[in-house]
Structure 1
Amino acid sequence: MGGLNQGGSEVLLMRQGTIQRATIGGYFQLRLPSPYSVPLFNPRDYLTKPHEYNQYIQDNIDLLCGDAMLELQSNAISTLANNQIPGTNTWVAIINWLNDFIQPIEKDYDMVFLDANPSFSMYTQIAIATSTKMVLPVMADDSSRRAIQNAFSLVYGLKLPSEIYSKYAFAEKLKEVDMPLPKVYMILKNRLTQYMGAASAYATVLQEIDKDVLSLLKTYPDMFAFKTLDMGIIDVRDFQTTGVVSAARGCPLRKLKSGRLELMGKRVTVREEYRQNCIDNVETIVTRMSKEL
């Protein structure tokens, strides 16, 4: 929408203020009174063309804006999903809200990206159930290693602490209604290059993540969209200042100029070497995705 430098927040507020609140929260607000049957609506009323507000963004991208309102809606959505109504699988009806949104316009797009909250809230479950593939970004720390393990437990029902939880597991609920789970498509490992010596603690943590994933890959190959670690795990150098400037200016890395740039009234230096490294990383990821389009 333009980032800090181009008033992206103001544009978002404007989109939230339309008659049909043009965000994911606006669509969910429409569904709250009609949670188990699809009301008449036009998905395009909720979409935004970022190109109309930010010249740096290509005109072939549409956006369903995020919305802090989701946090307010979360309890209501969970309650509706757990209602007991004879003849109605309320959980499945709720979990398909995004499918209901995408289906009428799906043929207009090559790919749909869902940027999900790292928590396993009901709206995150809706996003995961709508997806066919899942990208897991990790940092070189123990918390990310635990997060990967938690993701496999929460999404796929692996290594649950007790059989008691199996009945209520996300994977089990989808299985009961023959809905497929997304496959793990890519694991992006962010690394701070200057600290990534062979004997560093960072390298050790990332190696442990590799071991965990390899073990799962051997035991549960159907959960993955790749057959070897080299096919599915990509090392991504930390974008540091270059990434911050790109996001704050609302400017994709390829269109970002190197040198001294103005950012919120201050001058910031973007080195060409770092910018090109970032572009190379993004191209590696996009090339991997493009092979399966």
Structure 2
Amino acid sequence: MRTMGFWNNKGGTGKTSLSFQTICAFASQNPKARILVIDVCPQANLSELFLGGQEHDGGKNLLVLHGQPGRQSIGGYFQTRLPKPFDGAGIAVANYVSKPSDFNKVIPRNINLLAGDPLLELQANAISTLANTQIPGTNSWIAVVSWLRDFISSAEDDYDYCFVDMNPSFSMYTQIALAACERVVLPVTADDSSRRGIQNAMSLIFGIKLPSEIYAQHNFHTRMTDGKLPLPKIHLIVKNRLTQYIKVAKGYAAVLDGISNDVKSILSSYPAFFTFSKVKDGIKEIKDFQTSGVVAFARGAPFVSMVSGTLSVASQRVKVNKDQLDENRAIVSDLAKSLW
């Protein structure tokens, strides 16, 4: 199974809406592909989108999954691993996975979901404690960081592609998610904090430019390497939410150029950490989705199946322009084709 993650340790980059639209576009382009979406985020915003969004009871539908016996979510799965953290055998994948199109008819039928769960925050301390437990003959950190790898391995015969959405953090459950990914899409916006976010991401995942050698022995990169687990590779850096105009505004251009230059420098020094060899092949520019994006987010509607016209959002009637919707559909379609 091919596994792709969406992550940035900085919030506000539009990751959730971008991943939702891109995954649905990919599923639409590949109708015979069996797709698993894993939401490793306590806010579970992506899950709510798949389950209907604000307008179609996405939050209530998520609670339905949480109320199932054993809890049909990532939190339910982790809950079963806590008593036996070092044994990944016999995982009943189907107990935790749902089909979002049963709740939200506009979602492609070939997508299944391991929903997000606020329980992750409560589980985080226990998971971290287990990962750092000293047991002779057992690499506890590797065993715990492999929880999602175990789940995906158990689902290998049932799915072709897996997409993992992660929240903007580097908590233990985020590391569990990253450890399961072959590739990572890194969304950024046109601001200096996003530029620093790329540098931080490279430090967190690959141990590049750590402030002190003290951090090296406990770094994600070092622990993954020592445990002989493969590191994910940066596959795309998506400059997201750009100005709606055809040319990027001058106020953003310098920052965006700075991001490209930073990537070029890191790529030159550490090519093994990327799937691309030229910066132009690894950077995508995405314009702001504007009104149609807001409506899509509220209604849990992917562009691939969304219709234009006047639609309801929060008891208001909002007009979605056809040309704008068609343009957004083309943008995410192009991005989806670049995932593999």
TM-score by length of 2: 0.83
Matched, 1:219 2:269: yes
Counting matched residue pairs gives 290
Matches of residues 100-111 of structure 1 in structure 2 within 5 Å? 100-111=150-161
Which residue is equivalent to 2:279? 229
Are 1:196 and 1:202, in contact at CA under 8 Å, matched by a contact in 2?
no
Rounded to whole Å, the distance in 2 between the matches of 1:192 and 1:156 is 28
Are 1:196 and 1:203, in contact at CA under 8 Å, matched by a contact in 2?
no
Matches of residues 156-167 of structure 1 in structure 2 within 5 Å? 156-167=206-217
CA-to-aligned-CA distance 1:202-247 (integer Å, 9 cap, x gap) = 1110100000000011111111001111211000011122112112
Q: Counterpart amino acid of 2:327?
A: N
Matched, 1:254 2:304: yes
Bigger strand share: 2
Rounded to whole Å, the distance in 2 between the matches of 1:235 and 1:281 is 9
Q: Measured at CA, do residues 255 and 27 of structure 1 come closer, stay the same or move farther in structure 2, by a change above 3 Å?
A: same
| Higher alpha-carbon deviation: 239-248 or 36-45 | 36-45
Rounded to whole Å, the distance in 2 between the matches of 1:7 and 1:244 is 16
Q: What is the CA distance between 1:140 and its match in structure 2?
A: 0.4
Unaligned runs of 5+ in 1: none
Q: What is the CA distance between 1:158 and its match in structure 2?
A: 0.1
Percentage of identical aligned residues: 49
Which residue is equivalent to 2:47? none
CA-to-aligned-CA distance 1:256-284 (integer Å, 9 cap, x gap) = 11121111211111112221221111011
Q: Measured at CA, do residues 199 and 238 of structure 1 come closer, stay the same or move farther in structure 2, by a change above 3 Å?
A: closer
Rounded to whole Å, the distance in 2 between the matches of 1:22 and 1:171 is 31
Rounded to whole Å, the distance in 2 between the matches of 1:127 and 1:248 is 27
Matched, 1:31 2:81: yes
Unaligned runs of 5+ in 2: 1-50
| Higher alpha-carbon deviation: 36-45 or 237-246 | 36-45
Q: What is the CA distance between 1:194 and its match in structure 2?
A: 4.1
Correspondent of 1:151 among 201, 204, 209: 201
Which residue is equivalent to 1:79? 129
Are 1:77 and 1:122, in contact at CA under 8 Å, matched by a contact in 2?
yes
Matches of residues 152-231 of structure 1 in structure 2 within 5 Å? 152-194=202-244, 200-231=250-281
Rounded to whole Å, the distance in 2 between the matches of 1:39 and 1:283 is 38
Bigger helix share: 1
Larger radius of gyration: 1
Q: What is the CA distance between 1:201 and its match in structure 2?
A: 2.0
CA-to-aligned-CA distance 1:108-146 (integer Å, 9 cap, x gap) = 222100101111000000011110001100000111111
Q: What is the CA distance between 1:99 and its match in structure 2?
A: 1.1
Q: Measured at CA, do residues 226 and 50 of structure 1 come closer, stay the same or move farther in structure 2, by a change above 3 Å?
A: same
Q: Counterpart amino acid of 2:240?
A: N
Q: Measured at CA, do residues 199 and 285 of structure 1 come closer, stay the same or move farther in structure 2, by a change above 3 Å?
A: closer
Are 1:82 and 1:91, in contact at CA under 8 Å, matched by a contact in 2?
yes
Correspondent of 1:52 among 97, 102, 113: 102
Matched, 1:62 2:112: yes
SS in 2 for 1:234: strand
Rounded to whole Å, the distance in 2 between the matches of 1:52 and 1:66 is 17
Q: What is the CA distance between 1:195 and its match in structure 2?
A: 6.6
Q: Measured at CA, do residues 257 and 199 of structure 1 come closer, stay the same or move farther in structure 2, by a change above 3 Å?
A: closer
Rounded to whole Å, the distance in 1 between the matches of 2:309 and 2:109 is 27
RCO comparison, higher one (Cα < 8 Å, 6+): 2
